[in-house]
Amino acid sequence: MANERKRGSELEVAILEAAFEILQTSGYENMTFQNVAKRAQTSRTVLYRRYETKVNLLHALIRYKSKRALGGNMIDLLQDKGSLRGNLLTVVQLYQQFFEAVGPEILSAMVFELSQKKELFQQFGERARESNFIMMKKIQHFAKQNGEINHEFTPMQMSLPFDLLRFENLIRGGNVSEEYLIKLVDEVLMPIYSGEK
């Protein structure tokens, strides 16, 4: 009996898992649409129809690995812990879980692809920044609601935790511990966001 053709989400999972396996076992240079299609038991035409470019495929892979590891979207997982410190700790923990779920191979491949396409790099950077700001505005709202602050966070303040974790994971190579996250919140973020001098 012939293999049944995969469709919908089953096909998407097969494609993304195939891309990830190739990336892990053979390296990014071998993650071609031809190799992914072969491993996922589909055609290159199907891949191009769904993803168009390797950047689109990598972006889908990032979303897939992140959502699977976290159990949902980061913004939806951010619930009020009752304190600014607790909420900041939750954000940095979620963002670090994102980096660990996606892994250095996928992130390095995405950075490489985006570095070749300046306009795309700017678009993805803006989308990431907007997403980061939404999370920080949610934290700001909780802190105001809890009576901990009465000021607005600046754009630079809203970018800070994400920029620091991107630096640690992409430039310094990861290995970010829970102890580091606690120190980041207590020694850097709390004094900035609470308005303490």
Q: What is the pLDDT along the chain (197 residues), one digit of tens a residue?
A: 345 566 678 889 999 999 999 998 999 999 999 999 999 999 999 999 999 888 889 989 998 998 888 888 888 889 999 999 999 999 999 999 998 888 888 888 888 888 887 787 788 888 888 999 999 999 999 999 999 999 999 999 999 999 999 999 888 877 899 999 999 999 999 999 987 54
Asked whether residue 118 is assigned to any structural domain, the reply reads yes
Asked whether residue 30 is assigned to any structural domain, the reply reads yes
Do residue 188 and residue 127 come from a single domain?
A: yes
**CATH code at position 81:** 1.10.357.10
**Full-model pTM:** 0.83
The number of distinct structural domains making up the chain is: 2
Asked whether residue 67 is assigned to any structural domain, the reply reads no
- Range(s) of the domain holding residue 25: 1-52
Do residue 135 and residue 175 come from a single domain?
A: yes
Question: Which pLDDT score, from 0 to 100, does residue 118 have?
Answer: 78
Do residue 86 and residue 182 come from a single domain?
A: yes
**CATH code at position 6:** 1.10.10.60
Asked whether residue 61 is assigned to any structural domain, the reply reads no
Asked whether residue 141 is assigned to any structural domain, the reply reads yes
Instruction: Tell me the CB-side half-sphere exposure of residue 16, using CA atoms within 13 A.
Output: 22
Residue pair 71/136 in contact (Cβ under 8 Å)? The answer is no
Do residue 168 and residue 88 come from a single domain?
A: yes
Do residue 142 and residue 183 come from a single domain?
A: yes
Asked whether residue 33 is assigned to any structural domain, the reply reads yes
Sign of the torsion formed by the C-alpha atoms of 146, 149, 153 and 159: negative
Six-digit token string for 13: 């999972």
Do residue 44 and residue 83 come from a single domain?
A: no
Asked whether residue 60 is assigned to any structural domain, the reply reads no
Do residue 32 and residue 86 come from a single domain?
A: no
Asked whether residue 48 is assigned to any structural domain, the reply reads yes
Question: Which pLDDT score, from 0 to 100, does residue 196 have?
Answer: 54
Do residue 37 and residue 110 come from a single domain?
A: no
Do residue 128 and residue 161 come from a single domain?
A: yes
Do residue 86 and residue 179 come from a single domain?
A: yes
Residue pair 46/11 in contact (Cβ under 8 Å)? The answer is yes
Judged by DSSP in three states, 81 sits in: coil
Question: Which pLDDT score, from 0 to 100, does residue 61 have?
Answer: 92
Question: Which pLDDT score, from 0 to 100, does residue 197 have?
Answer: 43
Do residue 78 and residue 155 come from a single domain?
A: yes
